[in-house]
Amino acid sequence: MNEEWAASNSILNFTVDPNYSGKNLPGWFLMNTYLQRHLGQVMHFQPHDDFDSGRAAVLSGQFDLVYANPFDWVQYQQKLAFRPIVKPRNHFDEVYLCGKADGPMHSPEDFPERIRIASAHPGTLVHMVGLFLMDKADIDRARLEFVFTGSYQGVLKALLQGQADLGFLFDEVYLSASKLIRERLRIIDQSDDAFAFHAFCIGPRLFPQQDMLTDLLCAMEADARGKVLLDDLGFAGFEAVTEDEIACLSTLADEYISGHEAIDIRATSSLEVADTAFVVAREDPGEGTN
Amino acid sequence: MAKFMSTEWIRLVGKQWDTHPEIQKDLKNFNATWEYYIEDRPDIPHVMLFCKAGKVIYAGPSDGRRRDFIMWTSMDNWKKILSGELSGKAALMTRKLKFKGSMMTAMKYMTPFNIHLSILGEIPVDFDI
């Protein structure tokens, strides 16, 4: 019994963000094999179908290694003391605003008065950036009606089945979808922020191997088998996450999760200054801007 | 040539802003004040810009009004940012440009944020202050 317990306790548990529950999954199983061979420890890979179940499993302490989306790794760091160690090199999370290719919408001017949007989960960076895209298109948020699907595969399904007019899609999901699916979608807008990223995070049981694991992942592209695996997963390589990047994305996630509103005129201005005050502030109108 | 971080310099920045319709368009719904200062030169007064609906309507000394954002860093890093050696996003992510204010807003307006830093760099400036 004690031997059995010791054996199960020595197995490292690995999971990935649920957006990989579709096409890329075999590659992640191979990644698990690659890591366990190089770390010399038995690893068990367990994917999840949706964001809520994936997060709940990690937060219940079942995992030692997670490849997580930005807002999730911030949570794991804050709640479980996980450490984000490695991120894809030159690879950031971007968002596609998609409609149906055979639908009437080509640009925001074509959007209906009430817009049904499929989104995987409100607590993701993809949802936040999707909202930013709508703001930039001058779409009043009061016009939006969300269908939360729990996963990006669900977003694709909702769009293609006509349950939503638009979808917020993680770019990797769109790009890894089959040609048949991509041909049925139209990209109406997309982000180009190059700001947030997924990351490998480790739990306390892996802390002693942090340097080894960081070096292993960062050197994958120099190893023939590692390179094949990276190509299969769609990454050029991995690089270490810096403390500054962690601090920056933690601030962003905290603000979003706490419901902080962006400063703009039609949202809540933090200034509360009457319009006349702006005229007073123009000290030298005859010479243009002061 | 205007001295860096002087009233003359920030007013030239405000005028230069008027020559960039793209930032005015991107910030048409944006309404905020922000302040700049040099971390290792506490003797130099802080300056600020006030943007309403994409237009700079005040550029001058920081006058005590509420600031939505404060940006500061060392003189060396300011030189790198103004020369374009360090991009706005990289400066934020590496915290070389210290930033107080809504990070969400900065991300939402990352493109105009970068344009704004390039505008600062378009003003011929004397760093010998």
CATH of the domain at B37: 3.30.1050.10
Query: What burial class does residue B118 get, using C-beta atoms within 10 Å of its C-beta: 0-12 exposed, 13-18 middle, 19+ buried?
Result: middle
Longest dimension (CA), chain A: 87
With bands split at pLDDT 50, 70 and 90, how would you rate the model's confidence at A290?
Answer: very low
Measured distance CA(A179)–CA(A157) in Å, rounded: 15
pLDDT given for residue A144 in this prediction: 94
**Amino acid letter, residue A18:** P
The percent of residues in chain B predicted with pLDDT above 90, rounded, is: 77
Longest dimension (CA), chain B: 37
With bands split at pLDDT 50, 70 and 90, how would you rate the model's confidence at A260?
Answer: low
Fold that domain A95-193+263-277 belongs to in CATH: D-Maltodextrin-Binding Protein; domain 2 (3.40.190)
**Amino acid letter, residue A212:** M
- Residue B118, C-beta contacts closer than 8 angstroms, at least 6 positions apart: B84
**pLDDT by residue (tens digit) across A171-205?**
999 998 899 999 999 999 999 888 899 999 999 99
Q: How many CB pairs under 8 A join A and B?
A: 90
What is the mean predicted confidence (pLDDT) over A1-7?
A: 49
With bands split at pLDDT 50, 70 and 90, how would you rate the model's confidence at A285?
Answer: very low
Q: Look at residue A1 and tell me whether its pLDDT is greater than 50.
A: no
Q: Look at residue A22 and tell me whether its pLDDT is greater than 70.
A: no
Measured distance CA(A240)–CA(A232) in Å, rounded: 21
Q: Cβ of A277 under 8 Å from any chain B Cβ?
A: no
Query: Do the domains A95-193+263-277 and A3-90+195-250 match in fold?
Result: yes
Class of the CATH-defined domain A3-90+195-250: alpha beta
- Segments forming the whole domain that contains residue B111: 1-120
Strand, coil or helix: A67 = strand
**Amino acid letter, residue A287:** E
Our CA-based measurement puts residue B59 at a distance from the nearest CA of chain A, in whole angstroms, of 5
Measured distance CA(A123)–CA(A51) in Å, rounded: 9
- Rounded to a whole number of angstroms, the distance between the first and last alpha carbons of chain A is 79
Measured distance CA(A187)–CA(A164) in Å, rounded: 14
> What's chain A's average pLDDT?
86
What global pTM score does this model have? 0.83
Q: Pinpoint the alpha helices (H) of B46-109.
A: 75-83, 88-93, 103-108
B32 inside domain: yes
Q: Cβ of B51 under 8 Å from any chain A Cβ?
A: no
For A23, A85, A243, B102, the CA distances from A45, given in Å and listed in that order, are 16, 19, 28, 38
Closest-CA residue in chain A for B56?
A: A289
What is the mean predicted confidence (pLDDT) over A90-102?
A: 94
Is B31 close to A263, i.e. CB distance below 8 A?
A: yes
Measured distance CA(A226)–CA(A220) in Å, rounded: 5
B128 inside domain: no
What is the mean predicted confidence (pLDDT) over B104-111?
A: 88
- Residue A4, C-beta contacts closer than 8 angstroms, at least 6 positions apart: none
Q: Look at residue A94 and tell me whether its pLDDT is greater than 60.
A: yes
In degrees rounded to 5, what are phi and psi of residue A122? Answer: -70, -20
What is the mean predicted confidence (pLDDT) over B68-85?
A: 95
**Could you tell me which residue, A18 or A223, shows the higher pLDDT?**
A223
Q: Which of A14-23, A124-133, B30-39, B43-52 has the lowest mean pLDDT?
A: A14-23
For A18, A126, B16, the CA distances from A24, given in Å and listed in that order, are 11, 19, 48
Q: Look at residue A262 and tell me whether its pLDDT is greater than 50.
A: no
Q: How many other CB atoms sit within 10 Å of the CB of residue A28?
A: 21
pLDDT given for residue A263 in this prediction: 43
Residue from B89, B56, B111 nearest A196 by CA? B89
B-chain CB neighbours of A252 within 8 Å are 103-104, 107
pLDDT given for residue A45 in this prediction: 96
What is the count of structural domains for chain B?
1
B106 inside domain: yes
Q: Look at residue A165 and tell me whether its pLDDT is greater than 60.
A: yes
Domain ranges of chain A: 3-90+195-250, 95-193+263-277
Tokens at residue A159, please? 């769009």
B126 inside domain: no
Measured distance CA(A228)–CA(B43) in Å, rounded: 57
What is the mean predicted confidence (pLDDT) over A101-110?
A: 94
Our CA-based measurement puts residue A282 at a distance from the nearest CA of chain B, in whole angstroms, of 6
Q: Which value does ipTM take for this structure?
A: 0.81
Q: Look at residue B23 and tell me whether its pLDDT is greater than 80.
A: yes
Q: How far is CA A207 from the centre of its chain?
A: 24
What is the mean predicted confidence (pLDDT) over B69-94?
A: 92
- 8 Å CB contact between B37 and A269: no
Which residue reads 């094999």 in tokens? A33
Q: Look at residue B92 and tell me whether its pLDDT is greater than 70.
A: yes
Cross-chain CB nearest to A266 (options B29, B60, B104): B29
B127 inside domain: no
Tokens at residue A255, please? 């603000």
With bands split at pLDDT 50, 70 and 90, how would you rate the model's confidence at A269?
Answer: very low
B129 inside domain: no
Measured distance CA(A112)–CA(B73) in Å, rounded: 46
Tokens at residue A269, please? 């201005």
pLDDT given for residue A199 in this prediction: 97
Residue from B44, B53, B114 nearest B72 by CA? B44
**pLDDT by residue (tens digit) across A212-259?**
999 999 999 999 999 999 999 989 999 999 999 999 999 889 888 876
